[in-house]
Structure 1
């Protein structure tokens, strides 16, 4: 029986890097009996957003305009194309990747059931990367204000909106996957443990001796995150960088810019923009503490995990 590995995010945990590595490593995939389908990919990316969008009933929960406006016919065509590509491939392992799968507002439990039904003839494994809530809050906010959404609200509004989507209710969301796909088929990792080898955890599922060229993510967290994002907001407001995509492209570029700015100016920028004040930090710390406690109690998943995946049920 073929095995389907669904990389379900969460967003801002190196998902694009993972998709890029497997999408560009067709020879490596073939040598290791893995299919990373061409079907169901979104635009020119390596993410299978189009395929999983087929199962979304309420697109309002998706923040990407291009996905929201994608035609129903395009989504339905991706289902047929995916079925055909998997059926005709000799590979015994198939990997799909999309951050949409983590979003409970876009794909609730009943919609996950539809995905499970689509793959009823295969064994399905779910791979999830989790990230510290505070770190995720800052990173996702930076993406929203510099990305195509052109988000204009403050960090407090962002925190409230993110919390309302349920994406930070880690345990509740993991419960959804466990109930649909089975507890022993859900595998959890901490993003922070694999910054310099983001594809490494997948090797466990492919029985591979080596991995594709690893995404190098070194020396990009050498300054305070909130100060870095304060700079992004300043650039945005005073129009130093006229093209938001130039800021969004990589964190490395932002860190390189920030490294050349005097420390006193960085501190001033932080105070001026106040991307995350003490009250906000306390709120995020409380959310994170509650989730970490539940993860440890319910799934025996402690922060940080070992190199081997932690199955939800022992």
Structure 2
């Protein structure tokens, strides 16, 4: 059976790494019986047809792409995919982080479209240990200056694997929904994607091209403080980010008080993943993490060290440092 594998990229599960690697090595894929259609890093253009917002999806609006242009870009992508199907490419890989929001009817419509060419639609999604996954999402929100930690802790993100996987299960059935643990992709996420496609590339091919690196715990708290003191154009972040990002230290995790508040929904998600996909994540010992007060004190000490060594440069007044930390 010829297949279309729709990579549903949950945030902070290596989605950009997979997309970048497949795009950079696109020319090597046909020899393996694979295709990553188009000439872009991802397949967001399909949102104009598949997403409930259609060509008005914010991904298009953010880039100044009007509905007419979005619809045309989507049709060009469909034509490209159908071209691969006309060549009988055994497996076609598509990826977008926005596929996670596709409803069952949209997935069913894609399935019907591809089935008309003799292809079976399947989905692939990577999951992570939920507490660690949420901590990574919080860190990303701070890195992108989207939200302050205080707001995130007061109104925390919720685990989301079940919500997004349920649509695929409803539309396609369990046998066509692949769920993989990100932590077990020991040979790299991209090579793991190819394993789902039934392909083992040569050892020198398709190694992950990582673009996003994490911050240590002190760096996250300091950057959050900087975000709070910064202006609309982020001049402080522009000036100090490289120094903060270069800091070394303990990994950023959720403070115990936040983790405890999230335990009920996370426990529910873990039970569902185990029952539905056989994926088991034990509950961690939440008492081992540093308290929120300790995290703030450690960040303040780290800031004091940076100040004494002169590595924070100018533009971050000493009086404001203590208040921010």
1:301 to 259, 266, 279: 279
How many residue pairs get aligned? The number is: 270
Whether the 8 Å CA contact 2:46–2:78 is kept in 1: the answer is no
- CA shift, 1:178, in A, is 1.6
1:242 to 235, 252, 257: 235
Please name the residue that 1:310 is paired with.
Answer: none
Please name the residue that 1:258 is paired with.
Answer: 247
Please name the residue that 2:133 is paired with.
Answer: 136
Using the size of structure 1 for normalisation, the TM-score is 0.71
Q: Does 1:215 align with 2:209?
A: yes
Counterparts of 1:69-148 in structure 2, within 5 Å, are 70-89=65-84, 90=87, 91-103=89-101, 107-121=102-116, 122-147=119-144
Whether the 8 Å CA contact 2:188–2:207 is kept in 1: the answer is no
Structure 1 pair 213/179, CA: closer, same or farther in 2 (3 Å)?
Answer: same
Please name the residue that 2:7 is paired with.
Answer: 7
Instruction: Name structure 2 gaps, 5 residues minimum.
Output: 283-325
Structure 1 pair 216/99, CA: closer, same or farther in 2 (3 Å)?
Answer: closer
Whether the 8 Å CA contact 2:48–2:57 is kept in 1: the answer is no
Please name the residue that 2:270 is paired with.
Answer: 292
Whether the 8 Å CA contact 1:196–1:215 is kept in 2: the answer is no
- Aligned-residue CA RMSD (Å): 3.7
Whether the 8 Å CA contact 1:133–1:284 is kept in 2: the answer is no
Cα distance in 1 for partners of 2:186, 2:237 equals 25
Whether the 8 Å CA contact 1:199–1:214 is kept in 2: the answer is yes
- CA shift, 1:189, in A, is 0.9
Q: Which moved more, 1:286-295 or 1:2-11?
A: 286-295
Structure 1 pair 246/133, CA: closer, same or farther in 2 (3 Å)?
Answer: farther
Moved over 6 A (4+): 245-248
Cα distance in 1 for partners of 2:141, 2:61 equals 15
- CA shift, 1:185, in A, is 1.1
Q: Which moved more, 1:134-143 or 1:88-97?
A: 134-143
Cα distance in 2 for partners of 1:64, 1:151 equals 19
Q: SS of the residue aligned with 2:247?
A: helix
Q: SS of the residue aligned with 2:126?
A: strand
Whether the 8 Å CA contact 2:21–2:208 is kept in 1: the answer is yes
Using the size of structure 2 for normalisation, the TM-score is 0.69
- CA shift, 1:133, in A, is 2.5
User: Which string of whole-angstrom CA distances, capped at 9 and with x for unpartnered residues, describes residues 166-191 of structure 1?
Assistant: xx243343232122122111111112
Whether the 8 Å CA contact 2:8–2:100 is kept in 1: the answer is yes
Cα distance in 2 for partners of 1:76, 1:101 equals 17
Whether the 8 Å CA contact 1:4–1:94 is kept in 2: the answer is yes
Structure 1 pair 222/50, CA: closer, same or farther in 2 (3 Å)?
Answer: closer
Please name the residue that 1:229 is paired with.
Answer: 220
Cα distance in 2 for partners of 1:245, 1:96 equals 34
Quick check: which has more Rg, 1 or 2?
Answer: 2
User: Which string of whole-angstrom CA distances, capped at 9 and with x for unpartnered residues, describes residues 200-251 of structure 1?
Assistant: 2122214233341233699x67954xx4421321332345973757999xxx
Whether the 8 Å CA contact 2:17–2:211 is kept in 1: the answer is no
Q: SS of the residue aligned with 2:29?
A: helix
Structure 1 pair 216/51, CA: closer, same or farther in 2 (3 Å)?
Answer: closer
Q: Which moved more, 1:9-18 or 1:205-214?
A: 205-214
Cα distance in 2 for partners of 1:133, 1:283 equals 13
Structure 1 pair 216/302, CA: closer, same or farther in 2 (3 Å)?
Answer: same
Q: SS of the residue aligned with 1:37?
A: coil
